[in-house]
Amino acid sequence: GASGQVDGSWELKILVTDLQVEPTLRVNGDLHIGGVMVKLVESLDIAMDWSDHALWWPEKNRWLKRSRSTLDQYGVQADAKLHFTPMHKNLRVQLPDLKIMD
Amino acid sequence: HEGLPYCETHYHQKRGSLCAACQKPITGRCITAMSKKFHPEHFVCAFCLKQLNKGTFKEQNDRPYCHPCFVKLFG
């Protein structure tokens, strides 16, 4: 199948939450996180401010924030479902006076 | 250009003054970076699209990045 490449590369799917698309990237385990984001943005080819976006790993409940760390170092394999999503999101807060603010 | 008539686009193409981003002639201010020419407003960070100044950008794989995005992507 597609995973049986001799160069050791494999396919990683990343959900881009803003666009609701899930492109497939061909990667190697020694690709670093910053490189994954660059590759992803290049594959999307959409002029957009991505500066607040980062890779989120829902299953592990963690951001992949160390740009120099590799997929191998984070333990990301082909079955991982990663999201590329804004780090700042809207939050609804109920204050002590019971007022609700967005 | 060199004694021959050209339309505006091909005149700038011959002179090497087409913007590498939008492919249109550069008639006003011009930024030369990474061996290419750009309209100042089209020389932007490849990740956040913020306008860059010559000399303050970082280059990686032939793409320009602002300092914060460069740190975020390449540590």
Rg of the Cα trace of chain B? 15
Q: How far apart are the C-alpha atoms of B75 and A69, rounded to whole Å?
A: 9
- How far does B45 lie from chain A, in Å, by closest CA? 9
Q: How many residues does the structure list for chain B? A: 75
Q: Which residue has the higher pLDDT, A21 or A4?
A: A21
φ, ψ for residue B19, nearest 5 deg:
-65, 130
Q: What is the ipTM of this complex?
A: 0.82
CA distance B53 to chain A (A): 18
Segments in B1-75 forming alpha helices (H):
8-15, 67-74
Q: What is the band of A1 on the pLDDT scale with cuts at 50, 70, 90? A: very low
- Interval A68-90: pLDDT, tens: 999 999 999 999 999 999 999 99
Mutate to test the interface with B, among A67, A69, A73, A84 (most CBs of B within 10 A): A67
Between chains, do A51 and B47 touch, taking CB under 8 Å as contact? yes
Cβ–Cβ < 8 Å for A57, A69: no
B46:A49 CB<8 A: no
Determine, for residues B75 and A67 on separate chains, whether the beta-carbon distance falls below 8 Å. Answer: yes
Cβ contact A67–B47 (<8 Å): no
Query: Which residues in A lie closer than 8 A to residue B49 (C-beta atoms)?
Result: 47-49
CB contact under 8 A, B47 and A68: no
Considering chain B, what percentage of its residues have pLDDT values greater than 70?
100
How much of chain B, in percent, has pLDDT values that exceed 90? 68
Q: What is the pTM of this model?
A: 0.83
